[in-house]
Amino acid sequence: MKELFFENGKYHFIHDGVAIENPVMSPDSRFSVNPEFYGFNVWLTGGGNTAHCQEFKFNGKTIIFALTDGDLCHVEEDTKEICAGLFDEDWNDSFDGLIFIRG
């Protein structure tokens, strides 16, 4: 399981030795990528909604990093603004929300 870090006011994880701050951009931030490139998968999140999700270790706890298109659907190729949430492993508590922009 990958580890999520919070440093200098930003979250990041390590992918192939590179710190990734935006999970919808390539490691060099030049190209848009599908979050599945970094190991996110589409999960059903309840009520017919979906999100790209991945479990991470953060401060010694398992958390879920979820990405949506802002309308509670997983990220598509044409999604420009991505809403992200960090949740406890039971989906009971969201402890941070973020916005990522493509391109």
84-101: pLDDT as tens digits: 999 999 998 898 999 999
State the average pLDDT over residues 62-75. Answer: 94
Q: How confident is the model at residue 69 (pLDDT cuts 50, 70, 90)?
A: very high
Q: If you average pLDDT over every residue of the chain, what do you get?
A: 95
Neighbours of 72 (CB within 10 A): 15
Determine the length of the chain: 103
Question: Average pLDDT, stretch 31-60?
Answer: 96
> Which H helix or E strand runs over 32?
none
